Amino acid sequence: MHCEKDGKKSEIRRLQLAEDVEKLRRAIVANPQIALVVVDTITSYFGDVNTNADQDIRPVMDALAKAFGDCGACFLGIIHHNKKSDVDALQKILGASSVAGAVRAVYGCSRDPENKDECYFALVKGNLTKKRSGMKYKMSEKTIDGITAPHIEWLGETDEDANEVMAMEKERRKVVARARNK
């Protein structure tokens, strides 16, 4: 993809957080109506770094924390779980430990093992609050002006954190496996 600036063609490239954090901050400061920046999945936007190496990731995460620390906007990075089954919720976050280590709050989303129509938005890590609860939700649809779109229906607060939800999932898998073996 190319664009033209001052009569010269230049290439447009994907945001690379390793190189572009300060540009992103300037854009947010110049546009104070921006309240939220969402990057899905954050590891796709780190740039030319090893996403599994703390020494590569920590400077990017620290730069993001500094850039968004006082600008009035929130940065939300979405990341997937790794496939490991013998770790806690924090260690299930894909990539280097600095991805989760540098941020102040981490929530995990997962299905309720007892009710597949409902999900947990459960606390993994929270440095900014004493409250350790999360929320239950389900995906619904909402129609506005003839347009039907997905909609999150919040079902209320839950006391389960991400590790407790993972324990419930493991127990449910054991129950299912025992039932199959009978």
Task: Please report, for the chain, the start and end positions of each structural domain, with discontinuous segments joined by +.
Answer: 1-103, 105-182
SS3 4: strand
Q: How many CA atoms lie within 13 A of 10 on its CB side?
A: 7
pLDDT tens for 9-39 read: 777 888 898 889 999 989 998 999 999 999 9
pLDDT band at 6 (very low <50, low <70, confident <90, very high): low
Q: Is the pLDDT of residue 51 over 80?
A: yes
pLDDT tens for 129-168 read: 788 889 999 999 999 999 999 999 999 999 999 989 998 9
Q: Check residues 5 and 145 and name the one with the higher pLDDT.
A: 145
Q: Give the pLDDT of residue 129.
A: 77
Q: Give the pLDDT of residue 1.
A: 39
Distances (CA, A) of 162 to 27, 41, 51, 138, 148: 34, 20, 23, 17, 31
**pTM to 2 decimals?**
0.75
DSSP 8-state symbol, 92: T
pLDDT tens for 85-127 read: 788 888 888 776 777 877 888 899 999 999 999 999 999 988 8
Distance from C-alpha of 172 to C-alpha of 106, rounded to nearest angstrom: 24
Lookup: tokens for 17: 């957080």
Q: Give the pLDDT of residue 131.
A: 80
Of 65-69, 107-111, 172-176, which one has max mean pLDDT?
107-111
Q: Give the pLDDT of residue 2.
A: 44
